[in-house]
Structure 1
Amino acid sequence: MAKNSSCKTCESETCSAKEPRGDESIEDFLERQALAERLCRIRHKLLVLSGKGGVGKSTVAANLAVSFATQGFRTGLLDIDLHGPSIPKLLQLEGRTLDLHQSAMEPVTVELPSLSGRGKGEGQAPVPIPESHPHPTLSLEGRGVLKVISIGFLLRNADDAVIWRGPLKMGVIKQFLRDVEWGELDYLVVDSPPGTGDEPLSICQLMPEADGAVVVTTPQDVSVTDVRKCITFCRQVKMPVLGVVENMSGFACPHCGKTTDLFKSGGGERMATEMAVPFLGRIPIDPAVVESGDAGRPVVSHYADSPSAVAFAQVTAAIRQRIEEQRHAH
């Protein structure tokens, strides 16, 4: 169960949002408390990071979130890649807009097919839940529900460019956390842009109690080198690293399913060992991922028996295990 949603009745003795800090103004304190109350209703918070662009980070984030949701967990997906939001495309949500109710925003809610009984090539695209749905926050029998927020839902045109500096980015990310009606969630997956700039720094400052970061790399040295910096960044901002995912690791033949190392593999695992962080698994280069991504159909639900979908399921299980290990360690 999520923590108490009201700071006034919260029984936690360590919560920093119960009382103002030093010379903190009442306005700043109330804003910080509102953010804390929202985040207290989210049990687990995961950041998906990478030091390099083009490694498939958004694809990993989307499929992890869908995997959690199709397993029956109440799941949210927050896209803070403000300059290049990919989540609307990956989930066939292009053209959707956010509903604004007074001071709160309603996330776009999609209904996902259950993984049970789905074979390769079977499944369906996410289905946006209509506003008249009687229980938009509850999973239906055999199905999962995913709540999604992206800057892409606020753009009038998909070709519009977001040209913002740091303070404005911080403000928007804070709004996405504080002013969105996320409700009670088991998991919130945050898709961050590549690098260690404003957006990753902002989300780490706003969610210091997050379970940790899932760091995505490809096997090549040029990617691994930059991802090392990402792990160093996490350590400097005191964000736990749940582990490393090696994406595009080998080619999965669409005919026989056998994986062949077209380029190389193992670079991410070696780097994880050298940096003393867990290795969560490999995702192969799979034509099903390309097809499903372009069609807005998550591979974990549309091609449930494909090599990549099986790999995502294993990574999801490894993440859950890591979270449990951390919980028992504390």
Structure 2
Amino acid sequence: MEAAAEPGNLAGVRHIILVLSGKGGVGKSTISTELALALRHQGKKVGILDVDLCGPSIPRMLGSQGKAVHQCDQGWVPVFVDQEQSISLMSVGFLLENPDEAVVWKGPKKNGTSDEHMATMEALRPYRPLGALVITTPQAVSVGDVRRELTFCRKTGLQVIGVVENMSGFVCPHCAECTNVFSRGGGEELAQLAGVPFLGSVPLDPELTRSLEEGRDFMQEFPKSSAFPALTSIAQKVLNGIPALFS
């Protein structure tokens, strides 16, 4: 988060999107990873800053676990996920000597969730972030927490690009039937109440889970998956909304 405050570090970045929730375990890393892959397949270059300090999982999701970052005069050099260098990634996970090592920070290095969000916002404010992608799951307890995150965005002047409902039903690997394990519609209702766009629902899909665990490109390898059209649609809506967000 502090690196963003250095002048020039983000000079070549055209659009900055924050993926937020206000609740753990809703799939921020999953949506961030799949959105990056979807945008890459649409010809975009994407950089991911994984600020999950205690459970950095995106390096594994992108098959980059164990790679090393290097330091230069301008700071840390991110890891390129693919040979084309279309996705770059920076994560605290690259700074640990082994994947089982824990990050033990306290005091000024590790604050509460709101403090971390405020620190991120203040560091990025000079670069005019495009907005926030807010992730929820269908359950009422998740929707309640995410409602407070939308309030945070409003109070800090961060525009909400849209709400994504993750884990919206479970896709049977045998018959492809989608069952609403938790519930459905909480994310869409939340978006309507808050007056922000609803970008779509992403079901729990065993193929998506397997691709994340194995660090494979889900967008390329599982085009017939039930989660595929949902993720590609969300990515397209983000791209379509960019001109309007600048007006």
What TM-score do you get using the length of structure 2 for normalisation? 0.91
CA–CA separation in structure 2 for the residues paired with 1:255 and 1:313: 23
Tell me how far apart the structure 1 counterparts of residues 57 and 33 of structure 2 sit (CA, whole Å): 9
Give the letter for the 2:118 counterpart: L
The answer to whether the 8 Å contact 2:63/2:81 transfers is no
**Which residue of 1 is the match for residue 34 of structure 2?**
63
- Percent identity, aligned pairs only? 43
In the alignment, which residue of structure 2 is the partner of 1:185? Answer: none
Match of 2:91 in 1: 150
1:252 counterpart = 2:223? no
Where relative contact order (Cα < 8 A, 6+ residues apart) is larger, the structure is 1
What CA RMSD, in Å, does the superposition of the two structures yield over aligned residues?
A: 2.2
- Matched ranges for 1:202-217 at <5 A: 202-208=119-125, 209-217=128-136
Moved over 6 A (4+): 31-34
Select between 31-40 and 92-101 the one with higher mean Cα deviation.
31-40
**What is the DSSP-based 3-state SS (H/G/I as helix, E as strand, rest coil) of the residue aligned with 1:149?**
strand
Cα drift, residue 158 of structure 1? 1.2
Report the structure, 1 or 2, having the larger helix content: 2
Structure 2 partner of 1:78: 49
Indicate the residue corresponding to 2:23 in structure 1.
Answer: 52
Tell me the number of residue pairs that the alignment of Structure 1 and Structure 2 aligns.
244
8 A Cα contact 1:81 1:199, kept in partner:
no
In the aligned structure 2, how far is the partner of 1:287 from the partner of 1:48? 23
Q: Report SS of the residue matched to 1:37.
A: coil
Q: 1:227 aligns with which of 146, 165, 173?
A: 146
Q: Is the 8 Å Cα contact of residues 300 and 310 (structure 1) preserved in structure 2? A: no
CA 1:82 to 1:159, structure 2 compared with 1: closer, same or farther past 3 Å? same
| CA offsets 1:147-200 (integer angstroms, 9 cap, x no match) | 010000011121221122363359xxxxxxxxxxxxxxxxxxxxxxxx843332
Q: CA deviation at 1:103?
A: 4.2
Is the aligned partner of 1:43 residue 2:18? no
**Max Rg structure:** 1
Instruction: Specify the SS of the correspondent of 1:282.
Output: strand
Whole-angstrom distance in 2 between the partners of 1:283 and 1:242: 17
Match of 1:91 in 2: 62
Tell me the TM-score normalized by structure 1: 0.69
Structure 1 window deviating more from structure 2 (231-240 vs 34-43): it is 34-43
Is structure 2 residue 242 aligned with structure 1 residue 320? no
8 Å contact kept, 2:207–2:225: yes
Number of the residue aligned with 1:197: 114
Q: Which runs of 5+ in 2 are unaligned?
A: none
